[in-house]
Chain A
Amino acid sequence: AQSVAQPEDQVNVAEGNPLTVKCTYSVSGNPYLFWYVQYPNRGLQFLLKYITGDNLVKGSYGFEAEFNKSQTSFHLKKPSALVSDSASYFCAVRDPDYKLSFGAGTTVTVRA
């Protein structure tokens, strides 16, 4: 079965510092990976996806993610965090039936 894990429940960074949210995956076959962001009491918003191609994927709001096959990771990154990036971030993997399996989420707090 396809699965993802987000090892950190919370990440705290200062505004202007780099932000990294970690995700590792376990799949049989080629991975199809996604990142979503959720603000309090809101639905999830799609940030970016990896299907094939370049290992560095660029997405919305200045976020990017690096696919690393040898480490089975798909970490989300932003070079300079903003207070408005404070939210919950979810990694997901798509299974052969096109359903998504989500990680437990990481709550990011960016302090001014």
Chain B
Amino acid sequence: SQTIHQWPATLVQPVGSPLSLECTVEGTSNPNLYWYRQAAGRGLQLLFYSVGIGQISSEVPQNLSASRPQDRQFILSSKKLLLSDSGFYLCAWSKVRGEQFFGPGTRLTVL
């Protein structure tokens, strides 16, 4: 069966520090991968999605970036965090036409 992992589970970072969140999927190949942000426990905003290695599409302008160095690995990064980057970050995967399956999420607090 397929599983999706995210780490860390929680993170507290100062403003201006770098960020790296990691997501990995097991049990499937060539998945579509997605990064979402959820603010205040409501509503999901799609940040990035990827249909293959090195292929990243950005949905909203921001100081975040994403990379997909391996087929089942998706990384969310920032060079300098802002207070507004606080939130709950969710990674998801899907087959091309299938439903999306979500990871457990990372709670990021920027102070």
Question: A residues engaging B (CB < 8 A)?
Answer: 34, 36, 40-46, 49, 88, 90, 98-100, 102-105
**A-B pairs with beta carbons under 8 Å apart, 20 shown:** A34-B99, A36-B102, A41-B88, A41-B105, A41-B107, A43-B90, A43-B92, A43-B102, A44-B44, A46-B99, A46-B100, A49-B99, A98-B32, A98-B96, A99-B34, A99-B59, A100-B100, A102-B43, A102-B44, A105-B43
Q: Is the CB of B105 within 8 A of A99?
A: no
User: Given A43-B103, A44-B102, A99–B42 Cβ distance below 8 Å?
Assistant: no
Counted as pairs of residues, one from A and one from B, with CB atoms less than 8 Å apart, the total is 45
Q: If the complex has contacts A34-B99, A45-B102, A46-B99, are A104 and B43 also in contact, measured as CB distance less than 8 A?
A: yes
**Are the CB atoms of A105 and B46 closer together than 8 Å?**
no
Contacts of A98 in B (CB 8 A): 32, 94, 96-97
Indicate whether B41 reaches chain A with its CB closer than 8 angstroms.
yes
The residues of B that contact A43 with a CB separation of less than 8 Å are 6, 90, 92, 102-105
In the complex, chain B residues whose CB is within 8 Å of the CB of A104: 42-43
Contact of A88 with B46 in the complex, beta carbons under 8 Å: no
Q: B interface, how many residues as a size bin? A: 20 to 34
A88 engages B42 (CB within 8 Å): yes
Chain A residues with Cβ under 8 A from B32's Cβ?
98
A99 touches B104 (CB 8 A): no
Residues of chain A with a CB closer than 8 A to B34's CB: 99
Q: CB distance B41 to A99 under 8 Å?
A: no
Q: Tell whether B49 is near chain A: CB-to-CB under 8 Å.
A: yes
Is the pair B96, A42 in contact by a Cβ cutoff of 8 Å?
no
Q: Given contact pairs A43-B92, A43-B104, A46-B101, enumerate 20 new A-B contacts (beta carbons under 8 Å).
A: A34-B99, A40-B41, A41-B105, A41-B107, A43-B102, A43-B105, A44-B44, A44-B90, A44-B102, A46-B100, A49-B99, A88-B42, A90-B44, A98-B32, A98-B94, A99-B49, A99-B59, A100-B46, A102-B44, A103-B43
